[in-house]
Amino acid sequence: MNAVVLFATGVVAGVVSVVVSLASVISYPALLALGLPPVAANVTNTVALTFTGLGSTLGSRRELVGMRGTVLRLAVMTTLGGATGAALLLLLPGRAFELVAPVLIAGASVLLLLQPRLRERLGLHPRGMTPWTLAALACAAVYTGYFGAAGGILTLVVLGSILDAPIVRLNAVKNALAGFANGVAALGFVVFGPVDWGSVLPLAAGFLAGGVLGPAVARRIPDGVLRGLVAGCGVSVAAVLAWRTYR
């Protein structure tokens, strides 16, 4: 019965991950509800999430046409950042990121919503792969590998400063990069972390299916609506995290 629940959870969370970058908001509480300790739930979730990246890359082939070289170059930074974040998770307590997560997520969500207007009014344009933008991408990956919650929104904002593309295409790149980052983090967790394999297998299968289905959903949503949806979900998550952290 748990396997069926986890598979269904993975499908829904996989679609949500592709569309609004919030898979862990669904899958992590599900693992806790099934009795996994917090760290075990976190690492189990990260290992399974690798398959969302694989599924979404397969489902986003239309958006990723001509982007292979770009994705591979950006993947170097997200992979290094994800590995660093995973190592920090195993070595340090989570309190440090818990304190800054609400501010980071809320700020990134508002910036994501306002990016097109800021470009028009201030003459800001994507700057390409500069040392600053690559460092920002690596920092977003460190956060994602360590804390996870809404890390995809941070990555989307950074990608918007690197690539001149509609958000549905930025989303496809983000999902491909997440596959690299989660994959490296997962390797570390497999060796050093308390992975619950009985939960990983059905959840990963669901993530794979949801990852394949998600791009079809995302490309049917207008650019402005998708941007607003992601930003709104991000602000909501930030509010919940702030209430839990600062109360």
Q: What is the mean pLDDT of the chain?
A: 83
The C-alpha atoms of residue 234 and residue 21 are separated, in whole angstroms, by 9
Give me the pLDDT at residue 230, please. 79
SS3 sequence, the chain? Answer: CHHHHHHHHHHHHHHHHHHHCCHHHHHHHHHHHCCCCHHHHHHHHHHHHHHHHHHHHHHCCCCCCCCHHHHHHHHHHHHHHHHHHHHHHHHCCCHHHHHHHHHHHHHHHHHHHHHHHHHHHHCCCCCCCCHHHHHHHHHHHHHHHHCCCCHHHHHHHHHHHHCCCCHHHHHHHHHHHHHHHHHHHHHHHHHHCCCCHHHHHHHHHHHHHHHHHHHHHHCCCCHHHHHHHHHHHHHHHHHHHHHHHHC
The C-alpha atoms of residue 210 and residue 58 are separated, in whole angstroms, by 11
Query: Is the pLDDT confidence value at 65 over 60?
Result: yes
Give me the pLDDT at residue 4, please. 92
What is the C-alpha end-to-end distance of the chain, expressed in Å?
A: 36
Give me the pLDDT at residue 91, please. 80
Burial class from Cβ neighbours inside 10 Å (0-12, 13-18, 19+) for residue 236 reads middle
Question: Can you give the residue range of the structural domain that contains 35?
Answer: 2-246
Give me the pLDDT at residue 120, please. 62
pTM above 0.85, yes or no: no
Residue with structure tokens 């997520």?
105
The number of distinct structural domains making up the chain is 1
Give me the pLDDT at residue 213, please. 94
Burial class from Cβ neighbours inside 10 Å (0-12, 13-18, 19+) for residue 67 reads middle
User: pLDDT (tens digit, 9 = 90+) per residue, 121-155?
Assistant: 655 556 678 888 899 899 888 887 776 667 788 88
Q: What percent of the chain has pLDDT over 90?
A: 17
Q: How confident is the model at residue 197 (pLDDT cuts 50, 70, 90)?
A: very high
Mean pLDDT of 80-104: 76
Give me the pLDDT at residue 244, please. 77
Mean pLDDT of 235-239: 82
Query: Is the pLDDT confidence value at 93 over 70?
Result: no
